[in-house]
Amino acid sequence: MPNQIDIPTPYDLPGSVVIPEWIDHNGHMNVANYLRAFDTAADALGTYVGLSREYKQRTNSATFVGDVHISYRREVKEGDPLRFTGRIIACDAKRVHYWVEMYHATEGYLSATAEFLDLHVDMTTRRVAPMGNDILARIEAVRDAHATLPRPQGLGRVIQVPGS
């Protein structure tokens, strides 16, 4: 396990480019494809903290998304390069709460954010189950390093119409 000082804060995730298949009738990236792009980026964060395919095969476990909230800040269009960062917000033996930001890679603006809650699942029973202490310790170390960052704007946001 790396020292906390060796843990990137936030963690840079693999980027991508908005492809034609992701564009909707409004000429920008479709809602479903934001989730696709975030999911791909989030997989890299999971691998970084140790929740890799190898871990999952070795332990007969998986992570299932229990909840996800996406907030759209500014549109991206076909051909736009995307950059992602991620951070662990909280965790316990059965859950990992994390945050991913999507940026336009050349213009630098924040395009969207995604807040995830993943559940650690025993694939034999297909029920939420605790992860091993070694993997939990790794995730806790990353969480502790990421706790030095300012709280993300919109974390835990509730959807509502003001005054309703």
- Overall number of domains in the chain: 1
Task: Tell me if 111 is assigned to some domain.
Answer: yes
What is the spatial distance between Cα 18 and Cα 28, in angstroms, rounded to a whole number?
A: 9
Task: Tell me if 74 is assigned to some domain.
Answer: yes
* Domain CATH number, residue 102: 3.10.129.10
Instruction: Specify the pLDDT at position 134.
Output: 95
Instruction: Specify the pLDDT at position 162.
Output: 87
What is the spatial distance between Cα 32 and Cα 23, in angstroms, rounded to a whole number?
A: 10
Interstrand relation of 61-72 and 110-122 (parallel, antiparallel or unpaired): antiparallel
pLDDT band at 145 (very low <50, low <70, confident <90, very high): very high
Instruction: Specify the pLDDT at position 2.
Output: 54
How many Cβ atoms sit within 10 Å of the Cβ of residue 103?
Answer: 20
Task: Tell me if 163 is assigned to some domain.
Answer: no
Q: Which domain holds residue 35?
A: 9-146
Task: Tell me if 158 is assigned to some domain.
Answer: no
The answer on pLDDT for 95 being more than 70 is: yes
Task: Tell me if 52 is assigned to some domain.
Answer: yes
